Chain A
Amino acid sequence: NAGVTQTPKFQVLKTGQSMTLQCAQDMNHNSMYWYRQDPGMGLRLIYYSASEGTTDKGEVPNGYNVSRLNKREFSLRLESAAPSQTSVYFCASSEAIGTNYGYTFGSGTRLTVV
């Protein structure tokens, strides 16, 4: 079982470049999430998708866009990367709300913007 797969694992961008982080889950989960984690800080929600066809902003959405391509895939796009977006990005998925199931996370993407 692959669970949640994120690509790439590492990326270095120059300021102003764009890129898309890919995420796919094979657990038939409805909800998917993108978080970023910075040193000394907890995970902060960027965007989430309650179900296929819906996306909503989280706590720190500025500078990002997302696409819920289908039930399996949820991508995160940086249109014009900035040094402040240097972080570790985690994708997660979850069963329907109203349960005690937690999240399953991908292994993360370490992004450096120079």
Chain B
Amino acid sequence: RKEVEQDPGPFNVPEGATVAFNCTYSNSASQSFFWYRQDCRKEPKLLMSVYSSGNEDGRFTAQLNRASQYISLLIRDSKLSDSATYLCVVRRNTNAGKSTFGDGTTLTVKP
């Protein structure tokens, strides 16, 4: 079993739709959580950290459930520019803070 598992996708949604991605992690020692965005043939870029109380950044909301070892990302009012691959990442605060990346979920927002 992979340490970080994501919905495989792809997700194809119309502009303006709300879409949610899920991610589960298996290592209970994981302490920091992130969502990254990766555009085609580009490097991953940090989208947002995920806090225990949940957090919001504009149209993006991230949730963490430590008991269920589950992370989610909600995108409201999808834009064409949201089309990308979204990577779920967990990080341990030991061993140089190594991060484990999920395989990513691809989102395509269509007009």
Chain A residues in the interface with B (C-beta under 8 A): 31, 33, 35, 40-43, 45, 48-51, 56, 58, 90, 94, 96-108
Contact = CB atoms under 8 A, between A and B. Distances in A.
B54 interface: no
Interface stretch (B14-22, B67-75, B91-99): B91-99
Interface string B81-111: 0000001010101111111111110000000
A103 B103 contact: no
B44 to A, nearest CB: 5
B104 A49 contact: no
Interface range, B side: 20 to 34
A106 B49 contact: no
Nearest to A41: B103
A64 B91 CA distance: 23
B3 to A, nearest CB: 10
Interface centre among B32, B36, B96, B102 (most CB of A within 10 A): B96
B111 to A, nearest CB: 27
